[in-house]
Amino acid sequence: MKRIILASASPRRREIMTLAGLPFDVIVSDCDEEVSYDGPEDMVRKLSARKAEYVAEKLQKEETEPHLVIGADTVVYFRDQILGKPKDKEDAFRMLTELSGNSHVVYTGVTVIDTATDRTETFCEATKVEFYPVTEEEIRAYIATGDPLDKAGSYGVQGLGAFLVRRIEGDYFTVVGLPIAHLMQILRKY
Amino acid sequence: MKRIILASASPRRREIMTLAGLPFDVIVSDCDEEVSYDGPEDMVRKLSARKAEYVAEKLQKEETEPHLVIGADTVVYFRDQILGKPKDKEDAFRMLTELSGNSHVVYTGVTVIDTATDRTETFCEATKVEFYPVTEEEIRAYIATGDPLDKAGSYGVQGLGAFLVRRIEGDYFTVVGLPIAHLMQILRKY
C-alpha cells in the first residue's frame, strides 16, 4: 500500500490511526478554513477535501513518491446550529449547557486523495449523541480540566468528557473525529 | 470520596477508569465464575456482583478503611447464544465468522459495594453492535494479531478490531467493558 499522510493536527485522529494499526505520517494542513456550505454534512465534506487537497498539492509539487492523503473535519450540530471549537471557556460553558440533557449529531467528513492519480473520495458519517443532564458545577469542573477547549462542541467523548454521554447511535469514532472503519473500507481498495 | 477498588484484571477497564480521571486501585477477584442464570443480563449482573463481593469480603476481613469496590462482567449475545472469551484461535474464528455482517448485543453488568455499609448497587447496560461483512482473510489476519483472544465475543472495539464495527446503538464503553458514564452517576452519590 502507498504511504499514508494524515493531514490533521488532531492528537485524537493520530491515536485512532495508531490503535487501528495503520502506519502513517502527519503533515498538518494550514489551509484557509472559511467555506460556503449548505448544512453540516456539506461543510465537513468540503473542509475535509480542502485539507487533503492542500497537502496533496504540496506533495505533488515536491514530486515525492505517491501518497494517500487523508483530510478530516468534525462539527457538532444542534438545533440548526453548527458548533465548532469553543472560542474560550465561556463559549464552552454556553455550548455544554445547551447540549446537556439533549441529543445532537456529530458529523465527520473524510477525504482520501491518491497523489499519483488525483483520485479523490469523500464521505461523511453522522452519529447521534445523547447527553445526560449535567449540573452547572459539573460543566465548570469539566471546563477547568482544559479538555473541552480544543474540541468541536466543547467535549471529548473518549476521556474526561465520557461522563456526559448516555448513548450514541452510529459510529463511535466519528464522534472522536475519524470514522476509522469506513476509512479502512476505502483504504483497502488501494 | 472513599477509595475505589476495581475488582477486575481487564486492562481495558483500567484504561477507561484512568481516562475518565477516577483514581483507583486494582484487586483482582479470582472467584468461581460458574453461575446459574436466566439470560445474558441476569448472567452479567450476577457475575459482576460475585466479583465485587469477593473483593469486598476480603477487604472487610482485613478491616481496612472503607472502600467502594467495583465488579464488572461483559458478554456478547447473538442468536440466543452467550459468547464469552474464545477458548482458542479456532473458537475466535467461529465467533467472528458468525458475527460478520450481523448485529449482536453486548451486555455489561456492574456492581458497586460500599464496604463500610454493605450497600450494594448493580446495573446492566446493553449496546447493539452492527458488524461490517468481513472476509475470512481479514478475520484470520485479525486473529493473528492476538487481539481477539482475551475478549468476550473475540473482538475489541477500541483498537485493531475497530474495522469490524459499522455502528452501535447505546453506550460505547459498555462494549469496551465498563459503562463509565452510568457508573459515574452512581459514584457521585458517595
Q: A69: closest CA among A96, A92, A51? A: A51
> Distance between CA A59 and CA A70 in Å, rounded?
13
A112's grid cell: 482520501
pLDDT of B1 > 90? The answer is no
Instruction: Please indicate whether, in this complex, the C-beta atoms of B20 and A172 are within 8 angstroms of each other.
Output: no
B73 part of the active site: yes
Flag whether residue A22 sits within 8 Å of chain B, measured between CB atoms: no
How many other C-beta atoms lie within 10 A of the C-beta of residue B63? 7
ipTM over the 0.85 cut-off:
yes
Chain B CB contacts of A21 below 8 Å: 145, 159-160
The pLDDT tens digits of the residues spanning A29-55 come to: 888 888 899 999 999 999 999 999 999
Query: What is the extent of the structural domain holding A168?
Result: 3-187
Burial B95-125 (b: 16+ CB within 10 A, else e): bbebbbeeebbbbbbbbbbbbeeeeeebbbb
pLDDT, mean of residues B157-163: 93
- Phi, psi for residue A155 in degrees, rounded to 5: -150, 155
Using CB atoms within 10 Å of the CB of residue B91, give its burial: 0 to 12 exposed, 13 to 18 middle, 19+ buried: middle
- Would you list the DSSP string of B76-119? EEETTEEE-S-SSHHHHHHHHHHHTTSEEEEEEEEEEEETTT--
The CATH number covering residue A141 comes to 3.90.950.10
> Distance between CA B148 and CA B151 in Å, rounded?
6
Q: Which of B138, B165, B167, B173 to mutate to test the interface with A (most CBs of A within 10 A)?
A: B167
Shortest CB distance from B20 goes to which of A21, A159, A181? A159
From A22, which residue of chain B is nearest by alpha-carbon distance?
A: B160
pLDDT given at position B2: 87
Q: Rounded to two decimals, what is the model's pTM?
A: 0.94
The pLDDT tens digits of the residues spanning B50-104 come to: 999 999 999 999 987 999 999 999 999 999 999 999 999 999 999 999 999 999 9
pLDDT of A1 > 80? The answer is no
- Phi, psi for residue A96 in degrees, rounded to 5: -65, -35
The pLDDT tens digits of the residues spanning A72-95 come to: 999 999 999 999 999 999 999 999
Flag whether residue A141 sits within 8 Å of chain B, measured between CB atoms: no
Q: Tell me the pLDDT band of A68, cut-offs 50, 70 and 90.
A: very high
Domain count, chain A: 1
Residue matched to cell numbers 454521554:
A165
